[in-house]
Amino acid sequence: MRAFVIAFRRAVPALCLVLAPPLAGAQTLVEAELVCPIDGEKFKTMLAVPDTPLSFHLDLKPSGPNGAIWPLAKCPSSGFVMYKRDFSEDELARLRPYVASAQYQALSEAHTNYYLGARLRAHLGATPAHLAYVLLQATWEADSRPRYEQYATEALETFKRVLAGPIPNAK
C-alpha cells in the first residue's frame, strides 16, 4: 500500500499536467444562438470569450477575476450538453437514444453540465484519462458538498484506473 501511495503522489502531478487543457479561463460571457445537434432545437445561451487565468488552485481549477471554467451549453428540451462544437453522425446516432432515456433525463435534472458531459463521453467510450479530468472539472461546478464528494470520488477512482494501466510513452 505504501508503494502505491508513493507512486500515486509522484504520478498525479505529471498526469494532471498531461491531461490539463491549454491555459484558458472565462473573461467575458456573450450570448450566442445555438442549434441542439440532438433534436434541432434553437436556443440562446451564454458562451465564454477566453482569457488567461491569473493562477490555479491545487486541483487545477483556474483562478482569476473572470471565472474558472467555460460554461457548457445545455439544450433546453433534451438536456443534452454540448461539450464540444461538432459531433459526427455516428456519435449523434449513439447519443440520441441515451439522451432520451429515463436514466439520462434523471441525471440531467440533478447534475452539473460538466458531469453530464462526462456521462455522455463515457457512453461514447472515452478513455479513463479523459473522463478523469472532466470529472475533476465537474467538481469545480459542484454546488453542494454531496455533489462535490460524488464527483471527486468518481474522479479519484477514474484516476486510479488510469494509474493502474500502462504508462503512455514509458520506456
Do the domain assignments include residue 170?
no
Do the domain assignments include residue 109?
yes
Q: Residue 167 — very low, low, confident or very high, per pLDDT cuts 50/70/90?
A: confident
| pLDDT tens digit sequence for 131-149 | 999 999 999 889 899 999 9
Compute the radius of gyration of the chain from its Cα atoms: 17
Assign residue 150 a region: left if phi > 0, alpha if psi is -120 to 50, beta otherwise? alpha
Model-wide pTM > 0.85: no
Do the domain assignments include residue 171?
no
| pLDDT tens digit sequence for 71-87 | 899 999 999 999 998 99
Do the domain assignments include residue 153?
yes
Domain residue limits at 60: 2-164
**Number of domains composing the chain:** 1
